[in-house]
Amino acid sequence: MPGTLYVVATPLGNLDDLSPRARATLCRVNVVAAEDTRHSKPLLAHAGSRAALVSFHAHSGEAAVERLLDLLAGGQDVALVTDAGTPAVSDPGARLVAEALARDVPVVTVPGPTAVAAALAVSGLPADRYLFLGFLPRKGGERKRLLECVAESEWTVVLFEAPTRVAELLGDLAGACGSARRATLARELTKVFEEIRAGTLGELATYCGEAPPRGEVTLVVAGTGRVPLAAPAPDPETRARELLEQGMTRKDVAERLAAETGIARNAAYRLVTEL
């Protein structure tokens, strides 16, 4: 029988948030696959775990995935953890989970902390429905498209950003949504210097520009509260040329074209190839 892949949520910062079940799981498994082994080593010591610690992060190749799958196939239990919060949310864990499921390896969730839910809970903004976009691209057409998505969203939007880029993101959001749109910045959640700051996008952009934040940042942006009007489907050829000019591959352009215009995927591939 294969081993079990446990997807284990870990504290955002405060080690007291480690659940009894998560602690027991980390102590029971043979191997812990961690985003940053230096970060996870104190966590395992806190839990009393003697599991072997291996690295599995965003830049790990297929060999790293296969290594973990081989361990699972050999009957060893593996716990997947991220630096903070729930694995596979804006980190590489989804690749391993998908491959494990495809090979009929048992996958078990050990739920717990997540920055998305924690930030929503203290944002003061509606959280009955929300849109999670994670980290936006640093530049280019895809960043512009997602900024427009935030601006037009009927629902609250949750974003992650590195502290050094928060001021720039807030400025771009103010430009896309209007500086008066409400938002909440949640920084260093559950840690000693936790900060929850609510205001308009313009106010938050000014604040972060004058005092650049440190630590992990989750940004919650108010939605419009209005159902967006359906835009007419773009002309396939015009849209294909726009996407190609943005530097996207032909394969990605064809897939986006099929999704945006409603034409069949094979027709989209043929159109892009002819261009």
- The pLDDT value recorded for residue 234 is 78
What mean pLDDT is predicted for residues 232-240? 83
Please tell me the distance from the alpha carbon of residue 111 to that of residue 86, in angstroms, as a whole number: 7
| Neighbour tally for 169: CB within 10 Å | 24
Q: Which residue has the higher pLDDT, 22 or 95?
A: 22
| Phi-psi group of 190: left, alpha or beta (phi > 0 → left; psi -120 to 50 → alpha; rest → beta) | left
Question: Which domains does the chain show, CATH number per domain?
Answer: 5-113 (3.40.1010.10), 116-221 (3.30.950.10), 236-274 (no CATH)
87, pLDDT greater than 70: yes
| Lowest mean pLDDT segment, chosen from 38-42, 153-157, 160-164, 263-267 | 263-267
- The pLDDT value recorded for residue 45 is 96
- The pLDDT value recorded for residue 168 is 96
266, pLDDT greater than 70: yes
- The pLDDT value recorded for residue 79 is 98
Please tell me the distance from the alpha carbon of residue 96 to that of residue 205, in angstroms, as a whole number: 37
90, pLDDT greater than 90: no
pTM: 0.80
What mean pLDDT is predicted for residues 130-134? 96
In the chain, % of residues over pLDDT 90: 73
What mean pLDDT is predicted for residues 137-154? 94
What mean pLDDT is predicted for residues 120-131? 97
pLDDT band of residue 232 (cuts 50, 70, 90) is: confident
String of DSSP letters for 230-263: PPPPPPHHHHHHHHHHTT--HHHHHHHHHHHH--
231, pLDDT greater than 80: no
pLDDT band of residue 230 (cuts 50, 70, 90) is: low
What mean pLDDT is predicted for residues 247-268? 87
125, pLDDT greater than 90: yes
- The pLDDT value recorded for residue 103 is 95
- The pLDDT value recorded for residue 229 is 65
| Phi-psi group of 179: left, alpha or beta (phi > 0 → left; psi -120 to 50 → alpha; rest → beta) | alpha
String of DSSP letters for the chain: ----EEEE-B-SS-GGG--HHHHHHHHH-SEEEES-HHHHHHHHHHHT---EEEE--TT--HHHHHHHHHHHHTT--EEEE-SSB-TTSSSTHHHHHHHHHHTT--EEEE----HHHHHHHHH-S--SSEEEEEEPPSSSHHHHHHHHHHHH-SSEEEEEE-GGGHHHHHHHHHHHH-TT-EEEEEESTTSTT-EEEEEEHHHHHHHHHHS---S-EEEEE---SSPPPPPPPPPHHHHHHHHHHTT--HHHHHHHHHHHH---HHHHHHHHHH-
Q: Which residue has the higher pLDDT, 17 or 236?
A: 17
Q: How far is CA 102 from the centre of its chain?
A: 22
